[in-house]
Amino acid sequence: MIKLFLAEDEIVMRDGIKKQIDWKKEDIEFVGEASDGELAWPMILETKPDILLTDIKMPFIDGLELSELVKKELPETYIIILSGYDEFSYAQKAVSLGVTEYLLKPLPPGKLLECIRKVKKKIEENRSTAEQDWREEIRKEQSEYQKQMLFRALVLGDKQLPDLLKMAEELHMNITARYYQMLLLTVREGGTGRLTFSFREELAGLVDQVEGWYFFDRGEDGFALLGGGNDARELQALSSRMIERLTDRIRADECRSYFIGEGEIVNRISDIGRSFYEANRAFSYRFIYGMNKVVHSSELSSDHLRQETPGLDVEGAVTNENSREVLDEFMHTGTYEEIEPFIEEIFNSIGENNLRSRIFLNYQVMDMYFSMVRFLKEMDHPADEIDQICGDINTFLKGQVTVAQARQYLCSYLKELIRIRDSHTEKRYSRMIREAVRYIDENYDNEDISRNVVAEAANISPNHFSSIFSQEMGMTFIEYLIQKRMERAKQLLRTTTLRSSEIAYQVGYRDPHYFSFMFKKTQGMPPKEYRAKRARQIEE
């Protein structure tokens, strides 16, 4: 309900306003009246009206002086001034103070009520907008988490078709088509290597503008694009245009580089996981061929790509710093699914003639083994654990090792290493969420705190942060922030005599009315009622 306070020194005028308007019918609470500004001021601080209706000419403190005090302490209060003075200087001063309406006496019948209704409508619209903004922020975070769950289900194929369609429908995504294709994209920024939130949003916007295509933020693993269509050739042509569109935008900044892996086109939703697997195989070649390339999974069976790729020094890739750097980069950013194609391409780059030499093959295996051991040491993880699973390297190399056995051993070792790395990453994410929670706990009273600010502090993209936070905490970031603010507000209401507006500022709300709205929304009662209820409980 909207609260209104009246300050008017003429008793006849004051009584007329008070009695002639049916406040209950107008859904307005008449919270107080005063005959001058000095008497009105403490009552206004106590009642915190949404609307102040005040005469301009009053003893002790006039309407303009009272308005100035109110706007300083309660900036969201709407002020209607009644004036018998048709002087420009008064109106000019009122405007400079942020007065909402300036009415001249005598008022035509119904004019004041019309003005009050207009101001009441503004307040209700602002409150509705604030509530919508709050709900929209929560919806966005929940939606991002649900989107990640849908992507996971599509790739893993662990849900039935009706479940997938329901998940997509809740996200307003139409994934029903005759053909599908998955693309994987990574973009690197010069210098920091991190993309700004706005650029991530821009990429998502470019994809979402095309009907049938959907964008998934995979955090540190880059992005995934899922396209659907009813004709395979049209889908392939649309995919090519999509790639061209993205790469043109990325190349617009010389500091950015990219790599895209294309999966094959499939004709079942249940086969989207296969398209993702093929895209991932192509995507893994970024470690071998470098950035600024697009690789289709169909090209992996031929030799022409490796031969035509500029900058790939096959001879120099063997057992030198270059090959170690490639392996090191993979150990830091590669995925479990990319391991086998990665090892396969490493062996292809060595050359068939070199692999015929047992000494050279053993040397290559040993060189890669030592690189992996060094990486484990960087994580403070003992290599013995993997040796027990994959076998001791010295024992393994004593036998007549074939190329196939060498590949299998390195694949197995690298898989265990990535498993350990990902386990450390999960712990890092848990630690990151703990740090994010600590950051929120220490800064919840800052009105400028937001998901983007906290994600920046946690060194992660906002969308990925939302997904991880929801998964770890069981609630969205904004829900946790509101909960933290409300808990502190309740504590202050119980233990201090601070006014509601003062508490609002202390818990991070610039607008005391919005604070009261949020408090009632989450606690089921206004702050004033909560304080009175707690006082009664203590007395009892």
Q: What does the pLDDT average to over 373-381?
A: 84
What is the model's pLDDT at position 307? Answer: 45
pLDDT at 539 exceeding the cut of 50: yes
pLDDT at 320 exceeding the cut of 50: no
Q: What does the pLDDT average to over 493-499?
A: 89
Higher pLDDT, 458 or 102: 102
| Calpha distance 249→198 (Å, rounded) | 13
| Calpha distance 304→296 (Å, rounded) | 12
What is the CA angle 481-482-488, rounded to 5? 95
What is the model's pLDDT at position 468? Answer: 80
**Is the domain defined by 2-127 classed in CATH 1.20.20.10?**
no
Alpha helices by DSSP H, listed for 379-447, are 384-390, 393-398, 403-443
pLDDT at 415 exceeding the cut of 60: yes
Q: How many CB atoms lie within 10 A of CB 122?
A: 13
What is the model's pLDDT at position 183? Answer: 96
**Helix/strand/coil for 26:** coil
What is the model's pLDDT at position 193? Answer: 56
Burial (CB < 10 A; 0-12, 13-18, 19+), residue 368, is buried
pLDDT at 381 exceeding the cut of 60: yes
**pLDDT, tens digit (0-9, with 9 covering 90-100), for 192-221:** 556 776 788 889 899 988 989 999 988 777
258 token code pair: 């990219």
**Helix/strand/coil percent split, the chain, to 5:** 65, 10, 25
Residues 6+ apart with CB under 8 A from 77: 48, 49, 50, 51, 52, 70, 71
**pLDDT, tens digit (0-9, with 9 covering 90-100), for 327-367:** 888 888 788 888 888 888 788 777 777 777 777 788 788 88
For 146-312, CATH number out of 3.60.70, 2.30.30, 3.30.70, 3.40.630 equals 3.30.70
Q: Are 317 and 350 in contact (CB under 8 A)?
A: yes
- Amino acid identity for residue 340 in this structure: E
- Amino acid identity for residue 221 in this structure: D
Q: What does the pLDDT average to over 358-384?
A: 83
Q: What does the pLDDT average to over 416-420?
A: 88
176 token code pair: 């029903």
Choose the weakest-confidence range: 187-201, 276-290, 448-462, 506-520.
187-201
CA distances from 40 to 48, 67, 457, 458 (A): 11, 11, 46, 48
CATH T-level assignment (fold) for domain 450-539: Arc Repressor Mutant, subunit A (1.10.10)
**pLDDT, tens digit (0-9, with 9 covering 90-100), for 261-315:** 999 999 999 999 999 999 988 898 888 788 899 999 888 754 444 444 443 333 4
335 token code pair: 């995925």
What is the model's pLDDT at position 163? Answer: 93
Largest Cα span, the chain = 111
Tell me what the pLDDT averaged over the chain comes to.
84
What is the model's pLDDT at position 312? Answer: 36
- Amino acid identity for residue 111 in this structure: K
pTM: 0.57
Closest CA to 493 of 442, 440, 529: 529
Q: What does the pLDDT average to over 248-259?
A: 90
What is the CA angle 272-275-277, rounded to 5? 110
Residues 6+ apart with CB under 8 A from 123: 2, 50, 51, 78, 513
What is the model's pLDDT at position 268? Answer: 93
Higher pLDDT, 179 or 141: 179
What is the model's pLDDT at position 247? Answer: 94
Closest CA to 309 of 259, 272, 355, 366: 259
Closest CA to 53 of 42, 38, 37: 37
Every domain of the chain and the residues it spans: 2-127, 146-312, 313-443, 450-539
Q: Are 41 and 80 in contact (CB under 8 A)?
A: no
| Calpha distance 278→261 (Å, rounded) | 8
What is the model's pLDDT at position 131? Answer: 67
What is the model's pLDDT at position 388? Answer: 83
pLDDT category of residue 524 using cuts at 50, 70 and 90: confident
| Calpha distance 426→428 (Å, rounded) | 5
**pLDDT, tens digit (0-9, with 9 covering 90-100), for 21-52:** 999 999 999 999 999 999 999 999 988 899 99
Q: What are phi and psi of 51, to 5 degrees?
A: -130, 130
